[in-house]
């Protein structure tokens, strides 16, 4: 039996401000053993006509994951470490319910495979005590994997936020977004 070394103290923090849009995270994610050269993280320009600002779109690993809740085949599971896993291939029927349900727009249906695929926080690496590929390579520190204490010490001007408000719905996530000091939640319109 493989012994997992999943360290619960470690978390995933995203600071969009630092993102330089280099796509190293995407390319490194595709190198993950389980991803078959598909990236589970996506970088987009907000509006290239006016700014070089880019955003990072990755699974937020919600406490109460909408994608898993709506899956009719029970293909998506959340484990004891809070990682929301990608759809199990033998179960996924490619119905795209998860794609529609996710408030962050994360799961994508791989048309070729008729399967949903999404980030599982590099389970093969994180469960073996390594860091996720994307956060390891990110050259600017926009993606960080470590403890909350570490990031608070390193970035005194920001706070990690894990509460998102979509209309009346409040979503709490395992992945945290770095926001200016004083923020407690992020309201998404």
Q: How far is the CB of 22 from another protein (least distance, A)?
A: 5
Which of ligand SF4, another protein, none binds 64 (CB below 5-8 Å, type-dependent)?
Answer: none
Strands (E), 36-168: 42-45, 54-57, 108-110, 115-117, 143-147, 158-166
Q: CB-wise, 56 or 177, nearer to ligand SF4?
A: 56
CB 43 within 8 Å of CB 56: yes
Strands (E), the chain: 10-14, 42-45, 54-57, 108-110, 115-117, 143-147, 158-166, 169-180, 186-188
CB 117 within 8 Å of CB 87: yes
The CA distances from residue 127 to 6, 21, 131, 146, 178, in Å, are 4, 28, 9, 14, 24
Question: Segment 39-78, which members bind ligand SF4 (CB under 6 A)?
Answer: 40-41, 43, 56, 58
Helix (H, G, I), strand (E, B) or coil at 147: strand
Which of these ranges, 14-22, 81-89, 95-103, 159-167, lies near another protein under the rule CB under 8 A? 14-22
Which of ligand SF4, another protein, none binds 30 (CB below 5-8 Å, type-dependent)?
Answer: another protein
Q: CB-wise, 35 or 97, nearer to ligand SF4?
A: 35
DSSP class of 70: H
Q: Is 30 left (phi over 0), alpha (psi -120 to 50) or beta?
A: alpha
Does 84 contact ligand SF4 by CB under 6 A?
no
Which of ligand SF4, another protein, none binds 119 (CB below 5-8 Å, type-dependent)?
Answer: ligand SF4
- The residue from 10, 11, 13, 19 that contacts ligand SF4 (CB under 6 A) is 19
Q: How far is the CB of 24 from ligand SF4 (least distance, A)?
A: 4
Site string for ligand SF4, 103-132 (x = CB under 6 A): ----------------xxxx---------x
Q: CB-wise, 117 or 170, nearer to ligand SF4?
A: 117
Q: Which residues bind ligand SF4 (CB under 6 A)?
A: 19-25, 29, 32, 40-41, 43, 56, 58, 119-122, 132-134, 138, 140, 142-143
């Amino acid at each position: 039996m493989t012994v997992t070394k999943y360290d619960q103290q470690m978390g995933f923090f995203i600071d969009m401000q630092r993102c330089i849009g280099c796509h190293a995270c995407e390319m490194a994610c595709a190198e993950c053993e389980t991803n078959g050269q598909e990236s589970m993280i996506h970088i987009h320009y907000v509006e290239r006509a006016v700014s070089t600002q880019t955003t990072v779109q990755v699974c937020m690993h919600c406490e109460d994951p909408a994608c898993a809740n709506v899956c009719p085949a029970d293909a998506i599971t959340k484990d004891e470490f809070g990682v929301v896993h990608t759809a199990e291939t033998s179960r996924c029927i490619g119905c795209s319910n998860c794609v529609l349900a996710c408030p962050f727009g994360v799961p994508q249906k791989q048309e070729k495979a008729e399967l949903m695929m999404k980030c599982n926080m590099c389970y093969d690496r994180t469960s073996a005590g390594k860091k996720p590929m994307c956060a390891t390579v990110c050259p600017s520190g926009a993606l960080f994997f470590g403890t909350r204490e570490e990031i608070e010490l390193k970035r005194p001007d920001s706070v990690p936020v894990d509460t998102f408000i979509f209309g009346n719905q409040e979503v709490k996530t395992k992945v945290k977004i770095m926001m200016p000091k004083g923020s407690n939640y992020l309201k998404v319109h």
